[in-house]
Structure 1
């Protein structure tokens, strides 16, 4: 039986936003569960994301995912969608930085931010569990985080071209696709949990011929 404090952490009112949940944890507990999933994914990979692993990592009762989400798969779909949205939100201001600072520095910082935000680990999770992509569609817009990120990078590159800091004869959308795809590849071939900024910087210089 959950203790009094633990029971108080659960909002038992009917779920307002996501029909995939039977009851909604308070926002702070939801965040703790997602943060626990972040740590497990970075440490153990997608295979480590089991119900018990998540609740143990978060220090929660073992039945929370099944009692208050639509099971493990429902929790993971919510988690992946949340991290996808966060990635896009964190990159949304990139086009406004056009004309400021060094282009290579700006793109390197943005690409590393994309990784740190959880977008690429989430892509790994979806690759390991393809059915999640379908479930995510019930809680997030059809556009993927990586697709939206490509558009943000393309908008930044286009703005730099318009300002004369990049050659206008390069296709901004192709460059953005190559950049995001290459960072994606670096993630999947990385031996550690962190993306190496030096490798990203070299990649940016190579793609842009800078």
Structure 2
């Protein structure tokens, strides 16, 4: 089975790639980037401003136009697409942040998925779409590897991850290969039980449950 991925950026795809491998053993060769693609073609460069390439606005656009989704799912053996979005900018796409109580992550994720379903319309069954909603960003998912504490309440997980890894002498860039490297533990199935990643971020846990159930 091949799995399509629509996400905000290449670093997000790297983290999702490792999770799909760790949870279901899916090889990276069977994970197909739909947006962003591996490289820009002339059409992308002509029509998409550089500062908008790989962000929530393009995720929303892909959901609404459904062209890449329909094309991918129309082929045999291509039955599921993972759609990623961060909750950090949810106010910008019409989802207000709930009260930060014990159900904050679950409630916010549910509200964002409801919004994404509005964008998608009624074109797809529940089994065809997996929602990778990161609260607040995929860096919070990566933090579960290194900092053994709740990560979904961090106001700035990007900065926190960089500071935490810097203290350990780990330097990385904002690119696919580096994020594949720093999130590699998420590709190891045995580590999920041993390291208890899912206990530190509810949105990561709920994404992994959805992956387990739909793939």
Q: TM-score, normalised by structure 1?
A: 0.26
Structure with bigger helix share is 1
Structure with bigger strand share is 2
Q: TM-score, normalised by structure 2?
A: 0.26
Higher relative contact order (CA 8 A, sep 6+): 2
